[in-house]
Structure 1
Amino acid sequence: MDTTSRPALGELVYRDAVEADADALVALIESAYRGDSSRTGWTTEADILEGQRTDAQGVLAVITDPGSRLLTVERDGELVACCQLEHRGDAAYFGMFAVRPGVQGGGLGKLIIAEAERLARESWQAREMHMTVISVRHDLIAWYERRGYRRTGRMTPFPYGDERFGIPQRDDLQFELLLKEL
């Protein structure tokens, strides 16, 4: 039996999402950020936002956008993470990052973001990676800073009233642009 094309046990497999992945990706993203299941990880937004984080329509829009890719990450055939990369001229945008709550804190996120940065450099010759983070997510921002991202102080308003992004539990939410030179 030839096993050279199969990953070793526990090895990560990266691939671009396809439309058939949409429901599984929504479930992964929701589990990492919303509801009680998200509280088993450290990236939860459950205390600041209720409702959905995304939906199938939003995920499909990323999958089918020719200037974007939704990277899926599997281990032992199980979907464990995903992230969005979007080509924006000399930069790439990093978003929709989710790691299954039960495997958070084990170094997986570091590997995925490094792979996303490599892909942005090699695929699009991106010189910077941009992302937006809810400004009150201090632990998450600190994690990105340890990965080389810097705060810009450039804020954009949270889309209050648009429940596609969740139902805010506080009135001071905004997004801060973080960036890293690649």
Structure 2
Amino acid sequence: MDTAPPRAARLTFRDATGSDVPELVALIESAYRGDASRAGWTTEADLLEGQRTDPGGVAAVVRSEESRMLLVEEDGALIACCQLEHRGTHAYFGMFAVRPDLQGAGLGKVIIAEAERTVRAEWGADEMHMTVISAREELIAWYERRGYRRTGRMSPFPYGDERFGIPQRDDLQFELLVKELA
């Protein structure tokens, strides 16, 4: 009989510090780019090559007074992260990454619920916003099952700016997803 606490009970959440940046970059890259990302279901490897983020971009989130990088650890090991940014009455959710070999086990649900709880409690946010590449139908459907709604509001992909990757198709754009927080 397994007497270990459920995985969610073994997770710890904390704000990232500058010393976490290299490990965060590696986690984010592994979840979205290259062959390693194919172990999970959130890969963008067929849509984009190159980098997903860089140390400067992650460090800027960690340093900003209006944002935080929430780390998720299990037994002291980094397994997931997400960016939370305070934008007045709403918060922005981004850079969500779960280690590819742990995807599909229910961690994402736990992490996004904690992110939503955090922005309500600490910033009084009444909505969570995020942008998702509109071609990522499976990912958008996952967010819809968590209560996010498609807005139809699109913004262009930054073609030509390799800091965000090298597009493998010419129809990429971001769609704004929104959830009202209770």
Q: By how many angstroms is 1:77 displaced?
A: 1.0
2:24 alignment partner in structure 1: 25
Q: By how many angstroms is 1:140 displaced?
A: 0.2
Distance 2:173 2:133 in 1: 6
Gaps of 5+ in 2: none
User: Is residue 108 of structure 2 the alignment partner of residue 109 of structure 1?
Assistant: yes
Root-mean-square deviation (CA, aligned residues, Å) is 0.9
1:4 alignment partner in structure 2: none
Contact 1:9 1:76 survives alignment (8 Å): no
User: Is residue 173 of structure 2 the alignment partner of residue 174 of structure 1?
Assistant: yes
Distance 1:150 1:9 in 2: 30
Distance 1:153 1:115 in 2: 26
State the percentage of identical aligned residues: 74
Partner amino acid for 1:95?
G
Q: By how many angstroms is 1:129 displaced?
A: 0.2
Q: By how many angstroms is 1:75 displaced?
A: 0.4
**Structure 1 segments of 4+ aligned residues over 6 angstroms from their partners:** none
Partner amino acid for 1:87?
H
Partner amino acid for 2:92?
Y
Q: Where do residues 4-153 of structure 1 align in structure 2 (5 Å cutoff)?
A: 10=7, 11-153=10-152
Distance 1:132 1:167 in 2: 18
Task: State TM-score, norm by structure 1.
Answer: 0.95
Q: By how many angstroms is 1:13 displaced?
A: 0.4
How many aligned positions are there?
A: 175
Distance 1:24 1:30 in 2: 10
Cα distance per residue 1:122-169 (max 9 Å; x no partner): 000000000000000000000000000000000000000000000000
Match of 2:39, SS? coil
